[in-house]
């Protein structure tokens, strides 16, 4: 099961790699590291979008029901984690 999950992840990563782009030449970033960034980059971007929406929802509720300016969650704190 776990092997299949990893295989899926690799395939997803490769599927994200569509057009060719030169890397900075002097350091080899490593194939595995590039594929992995394809995978976790999607997660990271999705988390950032989710965090932005979550902030909007919070702002909406704090404006509608709460005492204004009470939100202490910053975009940086909610990003990706």
Partner 1 sequence: MTAFDPGSFRDPAGHVVRQGDRVFRVVAPERAEETRAVLEAPFFKRRTGTSIVPTWIASARDRVSVTSGIEGNFPLVLEHERIEVVSYPFEWPFSLLKRAAELHLEIHLEALEDGFDLSDSSAYNVQFAGTRPQFIDILSFRRYREGAYWAGYKQFCEEFLAPLLLTACRGVPFNDWYRGGLSGLDLVSLSKLLPLRSRFSLQAQMHVFMHARLMRRIRSHEGGAAVKQGKLPLASLKGILRGMLSFVRSLQPRGLESTYWKDYELNNSYLPEDAERKRAAVRAFIEREKPDLLVDVGCNSGDFSELSVAAGAGSSVGVDFDQGALEAAVSRADEHGLPLLPLYQDLTNPSASQGWAASERGGFVERVRPDAVVALAVLHHLIIGKNIPFFAAIKWLVDLAPKGLLEFVPKSDPMVQGMLAHRGDIFPHYTETNFRESLSRLARITSEVQSSASGRRVFTYER
Residues near partner 1 (CB under 8 A) are 6, 9-10, 14, 16-21, 23-24, 26-27, 29-45, 47-49, 76, 79-81
**Least gap, CB of 1 to partner 1 (angstroms):** 14
Residue 4 or 70: which CB sits closer to partner 1?
Answer: 4
Neighbours of 50 (CB within 10 A): 13
**Least gap, CB of 80 to partner 1 (angstroms):** 4
3-state secondary structure of 67: coil
- 38 HSE (CA, 13 A, CB side): 19
**Least gap, CB of 59 to partner 1 (angstroms):** 20
- The continuous run of DSSP H or E covering 74 comes out as none
């Amino acid at each position: 099961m776990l092997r299949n999950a990893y295989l899926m992840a690799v395939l997803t990563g490769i599927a994200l790699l569509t057009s060719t782009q030169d890397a900075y030449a002097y350091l080899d970033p490593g194939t595995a590291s590039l594929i992995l960034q394809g995978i976790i980059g999607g997660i990271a971007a999705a988390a950032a979008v989710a965090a932005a929406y979550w902030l909007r929802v919070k702002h909406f509720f704090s404006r509608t029901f709460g005492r204004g300016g009470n939100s202490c969650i910053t975009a940086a704190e909610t990003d990706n984690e």
